[in-house]
């Protein structure tokens, strides 16, 4: 989830003719339940769980474990994340299972640049298993073994590799930086060739670990044989995680960040995710402007969104981190504060980023995250985003346990005190400390109207995540877009530094780009996010599942 050491290159934008648009895709409709995620086999596991009488949390837990098998780039048991749950007739809640820094970690661990994102030391204490278990304990209906077992079967018996997974595996295996021998043994094709569509991937070691978790219970991952294997791996690789760190880890149930936007209730994850706070601040700021009257692809709307983004991301750097270690100001999500921010936006001219925080002396998060959305027959909605950090985490497979480790430690600010115009942040709130949870951008989001869910969304994409969610929410609420169009439409991103707009629609909207540049914005082109979303039709209550095909995906309903 990081652009830590890789500054964004500001490339010139070339105006090109508009290209013919493909026919509009249609969402999948269902009456009883819907699962939307990046991996088709995992989506099928989720909808089968719903059909068997499970609720949305049962299905989400089943999908989470299945993705650890079928989408190893980001699905995981060796990482962490956030799950938003909206129970029928009750306030939404958030299950936070972000990784923590091991007890022996130091504030300057990454300061000299010698420890890379592929080092054993880059791994934080995994939270996924306890996080999914906590959500299941609180809301699940079906037995734990039943919801984990489909993942066991997928790992032990194998599953068919599709095109996106084959391309992903071949890409990481061809990278000379992928040096971990166990990773290459587990994920390399047995005959030494490239993975092809239709091949079968079998993961027996991972299946054995998942079977222990299913049959013995989630605590086995932290205190049993899997914990011993992780401790042994850390010793062999000179890592930091000890068995005591695993025993001490706790997932948390936290109160979500809540704001209103044009009559809708929007709920997002609280710190240690910055997502909910940043999303609320941006929505509150934009509420001061009539976006619909300006038009979705007007330069004014893109300008106002970019200006709201840079102000909220500036506050992210100033104030946000693990709330158990720092005090976060209450005013960030208030309407009054947003009105002040809105009044500082020049409607015709970009505000230079370095003028927004003069107190910060000025001298990049990866994309191995995945999001899925679930809703059941009763209207319980789940929005879950979890991650390994970079693609395939630190590319270390725990020997004998078969799962990939995260490299979330690189989500801490690496060099205390050093904030750069290229996007590296060194402010105090997110500096590393033992036991601390690193700041995240994950933004699983639930949107309600009159107490009922109307939109379930989220995305991977590092610091772009919250802005991807913003684009989807604005598309649906301000511009009444059908959910598939809202997901498919070009997205934009500004993160304070680098002081540039990243825009997917450079080719489709050349006039818009030209006008933004005339207003003082730098604009670059970049693919953004993977927002698997569900819209609940306000007219008939149908569930409309929109898979985002930027990577891969399936909406499965019944």
Mean per-residue pLDDT, 399-410: 97
Can you give the pLDDT at residue 23? Answer: 59
Res 169 pLDDT > 90: yes
369 tagged catalytic: yes
Question: In the β-sheet with 523-525, what is the strand arrangement from edge to edge?
Answer: 492-493, 501-503, 523-525
C-alpha to C-alpha distance for 350 and 496, rounded to whole angstroms = 12
- The per-residue pLDDT for 207 is 98
Read off the pLDDT of each residue in 338-367 and give the average, rounded to a whole number: 84
Instruction: Report pLDDT for 10.
Output: 31
Helices marked H in 237-267 = 243-248
Task: Transcribe 440-485 into DSSP letters.
Answer: B----EEEEETTEEEEEE---SGGGHHHHHHHHHHHHHTT---HHH
Q: Within 13 Å of residue 105, how many CA atoms lie on the same side as its CB?
A: 33
- pLDDT band for 360, please (50, 70, 90 cuts): confident
What order do you get walking across the sheet with 252-254 strand by strand? 252-254, 93-97, 80-86, 381-389, 368-375, 34-37, 554-557
- Model pLDDT for residues 110-133, shown as the tens digit of each residue: 989 899 999 999 999 999 999 999
Average confidence (pLDDT) over 499-515: 97
Q: Which residues contact 547 (CB under 8 A, 6 or more apart)?
A: 28, 36, 37, 487, 532, 553, 554, 555
User: Which residue's structure tokens are 């949107």?
Assistant: 447
Which pLDDT band holds residue 164 (cuts at 50, 70, 90)?
A: very high
What token pair was written down for 300? 């004014």
pLDDT in tens, 202-214: 999 999 999 999 9
pLDDT above 60 (res 19)? no
- Which pTM value belongs to this model? 0.94
Instruction: At 474, give phi and psi (nearest 5°).
Output: -65, -40
8 A C-beta contact, residue 133 and residue 81: no
How many angstroms separate the CA atoms of 401 and 220, rounded? Answer: 12
What's the average model confidence in pLDDT over 28-34?
A: 97
pLDDT value for 445? 98
pLDDT at 511 over 80: yes
Whole-number average pLDDT of the chain:
93
> Average pLDDT in the 476-501 region?
97
User: Distance between alpha carbon 384 and the CA centroid of its chain, in Å?
Assistant: 8
**How many CA atoms lie within 13 Å of 546's alpha carbon, on the beta-carbon side?**
28
Percent of the chain with pLDDT over 70: 94
Where residue 70 falls among pLDDT bands split at 50, 70, 90?
A: very high
From the candidates 259, 333, 369, 464, which is the catalytic residue? 369
Q: Dihedrals φ, ψ of 519, to 5°? A: -85, -5
pLDDT number for residue 425: 79
Cα→Cα distances 247→135, 214, 241, 370, 413, Å: 19, 19, 11, 26, 26
CB atoms within 10 A of CB 400: 16
Lookup result for tokens 């059941």: 376
Cα distance from N-terminal residue to C-terminal residue, the chain: 33
Domain boundaries, the chain: 29-254+366-430
Give the span between the Cα atoms of 280 and 371, in whole angstroms. Answer: 19
pLDDT digits (tens, 9 = 90+) for 417-449: 767 776 677 678 999 999 999 999 999 999 999
Rounded CA gap, 173 and 207, in Å?
21
pLDDT at 7: 31
* Residue 18 predicted with pLDDT over 80: no
Task: Answer whether 429's CB lies under 8 Å from 154's CB.
Answer: no
pLDDT tens-digit map of 257-303 = 999 999 999 999 999 999 999 999 999 999 999 999 999 999 999 99
* Continuous segment of H or E residues that includes residue 23: none
Output the furthest CA–CA distance in the chain (Å, rounded): 63
- What are the tens digits of pLDDT across the range 376-391? 999 999 999 999 999 9
Q: How many residues does the chain have?
A: 558
Q: What is the dihedral of CA 323, 325, 326, 327, to 10 degrees?
A: 60
Q: What's the CA gap between 108 and 436, in Å, rounded?
A: 14
pLDDT of residue 367: 55
């Amino acid at each position: 989830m990081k652009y830590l050491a890789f500054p964004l290159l500001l490339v010139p934008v070339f105006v090109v003719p508009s290209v013919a648009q493909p026919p509009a895709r249609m969402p999948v409709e269902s009456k009883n339940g819907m699962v939307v995620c990046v991996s088709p086999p995992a989506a099928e596991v989720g909808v089968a769980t719903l059909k068997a009488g499970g609720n949305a949390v049962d299905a989400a837990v089943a999908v989470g474990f299945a993705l650890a098998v079928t989408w190893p780039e980001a699905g995981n048991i060796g990482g962490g994340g956030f799950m938003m749950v909206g129970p029928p007739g009750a306030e939404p809640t958030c299950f936070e299972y972000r990784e923590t820094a091991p007890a022996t970690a130091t504030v300057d661990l990454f300061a000299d640049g010698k420890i890379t994102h592929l080092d054993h030391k880059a791994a934080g204490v995994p939270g996924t298993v306890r996080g999914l278990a906590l959500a299941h304990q609180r809301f699940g209906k079906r037995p734990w073994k039943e919801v984990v077992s489909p993942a066991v079967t997928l790992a032990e018996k194998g599953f068919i590799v599709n095109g996106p997974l084959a391309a992903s595996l071949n890409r990481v295996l061809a990278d000379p930086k992928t040096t971990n021998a166990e990773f290459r043994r587990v994920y390399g094709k047995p005959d030494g060739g490239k993975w092809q569509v239709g091949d079968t991937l079998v993961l027996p070691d991972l299946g054995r670990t998942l079977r222990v978790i299913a049959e013995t219970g989630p605590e086995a991952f932290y205190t049993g044989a899997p914990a011993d294997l992780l401790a042994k791996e850390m010793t062999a690789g000179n890592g930091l995680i000890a068995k005591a760190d695993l025993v001490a880890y706790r997932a948390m149930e936290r109160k979500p960040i809540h704001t209103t936007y044009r009559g809708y209730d929007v709920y997002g994850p609280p710190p240690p995710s910055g997502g909910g706070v940043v999303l609320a601040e941006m929505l509150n700021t934009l509420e001061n402007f009539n976006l619909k009257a300006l038009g979705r692809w007007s330069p004014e709307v893109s300008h106002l969104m970019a200006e709201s983004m840079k102000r909220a991301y500036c506050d992210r750097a100033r104030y946000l981190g693990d709330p158990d270690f720092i005090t976060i100001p209450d005013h960030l999500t208030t309407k009054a504060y947003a009105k002040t921010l809105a009044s500082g936006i020049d409607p015709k001219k970009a505000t230079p980023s370095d003028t927004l925080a003069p107190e910060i002396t000025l001298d990049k998060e990866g994309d191995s995250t995945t999001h899925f959305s679930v809703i059941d027959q009763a209207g319980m909605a789940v929005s879950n985003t979890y991650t390994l950090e970079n693609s395939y985490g630190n590319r270390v497979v725990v020997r004998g346990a078969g799962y990939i480790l995260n490299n979330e430690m690189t989500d801490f600010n690496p060099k205390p005190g050093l904030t750069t115009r290229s996007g590296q942040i060194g402010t105090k709130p997110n500096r590393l400390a033992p036991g601390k949870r690193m700041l995240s951008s994950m933004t699983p989001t639930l949107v309600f109207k009159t107490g009922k869910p109307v939109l379930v969304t989220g995305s991977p994409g590092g610091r772009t995540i919250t802005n991807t969610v913003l684009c989807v929410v604005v598309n649906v609420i301000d511009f009444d877009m059908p959910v598939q169009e809202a997901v498919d439409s070009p997205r934009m991103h500004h993160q304070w530094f680098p002081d540039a707009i990243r825009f997917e629609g450079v080719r489709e909207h050349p006039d818009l780009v030209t006008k933004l540049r005339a207003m003082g914005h730098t604009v670059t082109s970049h693919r953004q996010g993977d927002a698997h979303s569900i819209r609940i039709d306000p007219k008939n209550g149908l569930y409309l599942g929109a898979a985002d095909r930027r990577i891969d995906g399936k909406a499965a309903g019944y």
